[in-house]
Amino acid sequence: MIGFPRKHLLLFLFLILFLSSAPSFAADASGLTQAVDDYILSLTPMQQVSLLFLVNIDGDTAYRALERDDDGTPLVPGGCLFFSYNVAPAASGVIEFTRSIAGYCSAHKLPRPYTAIDQEGGGVNRLRDVTSPLPSPALVAERLSACDSARLYAAQGAQMAALGFDLNLAPIAEALAGFNSDYLGRRAFGGAGTASAYSYAAVRAYQGQGVLCAVKHFPGNSNSDPHTGSSVLDIGGKELALSVQLPFAFVLLSSPAAVLMSHAVIPSVDAKNPAVLSERWIKGELRGRLGYEGLVISDDIFMGAVSSFGMGTLAVKAISSGADVLMLSDKYFKSVASALLDEASQNSAFAFRLREAERHVVLFKLRAGILRAEESGDGRLLLVEVPLDKQRGSPSARLKAFEESKGQGEDFYRRYFSGGAR
């Protein structure tokens, strides 16, 4: 169990009690839980479990499902993961592509996925050829105050919302230290205090523009690249509490919609499992000690750090440990989804955990504005899908909003980053 020094623990208790603004769906109209369950039960079993996947998609012009259920129904994941090759050269093309996802799902009477992209800035900047320049987190912290950085991220968030993105897989909330600097480099804002302040500002700015955030990578990374092999973070005690836990404890006060788990093994807490497969990290620390109630997303389960597990076994273990969403850089997920359904048919405890994860995804989609709760004629709450044009506006309105916010972002960049971005 990780322990904070007493003075830091008291500070965070105060902050949690008086500064946290996390929305509580439980406090909303009675019947929401039933409405969520009714919505899930309106889907086929494969559609239900498909909610738990954030999967890469094909092309950059018109969306199409690549797999079908056994009855011929197209398989659509809970979320569509965009890489640079999914980003059309111009804003109008991106707008049409995100709109095609909604159109395809409407035509086939399927749940509309949320759209997600990594837009950290600097080297990880999928929209670099479309939006206004977005410097690396390190350069942002060097040139701007945390308050001014919020203006930069708000302009970027407004552009992303206009393009049709629901989720930014950013910011990195990890503190830069000797044990992770080789891997994170300028993707990190800086030390614990800097990481806390700037990641908090980024979340508030993006989410204020209607683009939800997944802070990452909880609880942290080592100097080893998890894309290529195992990652072990051999720290503990005060160093773990102040360099790893403190920034995440602070950024969670900004109410991020999601937390993205790392693949690192931290032997002082769980010597056997990467964090994404660790009940001690997800259920014990993130859900328990830190009280986080939002969506928990795995890092890409195709990474080398977890390659020793079979894909089905890995997926079952991640969900069992508390993850809600499985990220796959691959475009195909039916076989992994089938493995989850097979396990649920034999294991009632896993079936319960699967339904819990599905609820978390539906609540996320409510927060994103993809779904809304409406009162039926008999007083019950029903969840209905919001058409994309009502959620984000018509294509012409979106393009106009994009151009205005891009201009604001470019003006801000010229003022503060005339020396260039790294």
Contact 219/244 with Cβ under 8 angstroms? yes
| pLDDT score for 226 | 79
| pLDDT score for 19 | 39
What's the rounded Cα separation, in Å, for the pair 363 and 183?
33
What's the rounded Cα separation, in Å, for the pair 356 and 341?
14
What's the rounded Cα separation, in Å, for the pair 351 and 320?
10
What's the rounded Cα separation, in Å, for the pair 173 and 245?
10
| pLDDT score for 4 | 40
8: preceding bond cis by omega (within 30 degrees): no
- Write out the E strands in 96-173: 114-117, 119-121, 124-125, 167-168
Number of CB atoms found within 10 A of residue 229's CB: 12
Look at residue 242 and tell me whether its pLDDT is greater than 90.
Answer: no
Tokens 């009714």: give the residue.
38
Closest to 218 measured CA to CA, from 182, 259, 187, 181: 259
Contact 282/317 with Cβ under 8 angstroms? no
For residues 158-185, give the mean pLDDT: 96
Extract the tokens encoding 271.
Answer: 């010597």
397: part of which helix (H) or strand (E)? Answer: helix 395-416
What's the rounded Cα separation, in Å, for the pair 116 and 230?
26
Contact 282/269 with Cβ under 8 angstroms? no
Contact 225/251 with Cβ under 8 angstroms? no
| pLDDT score for 110 | 97
Residue 288, SS3 per DSSP: helix
For residues 97-117, give the mean pLDDT: 98
| pLDDT score for 305 | 59
Look at residue 390 and tell me whether its pLDDT is greater than 80.
Answer: yes
Inter-axis angle of helices 348-368 and 334-346, to 10 degrees?
A: 130
Q: What percent of the chain has pLDDT over 70?
A: 91
| pLDDT score for 307 | 67
What phi, psi does 230 have (nearest 5°)?
Answer: -65, 150
Contact 234/192 with Cβ under 8 angstroms? no
Task: Give the model confidence (pLDDT) of 192-204 as tens digits.
Answer: 999 999 999 999 9
For residues 331-338, give the mean pLDDT: 96
pTM above 0.85, yes or no: yes
Which residues sit opposite 80 in a β-bridge?
55, 115
For residues 361-380, give the mean pLDDT: 94
What phi, psi does 67 have (nearest 5°)?
Answer: -135, 160
Extract the tokens encoding 118.
Answer: 């990594």
Contact 344/369 with Cβ under 8 angstroms? no
Strands 371-375 and 381-385: antiparallel
What is the residue-averaged pLDDT of the chain? Answer: 90
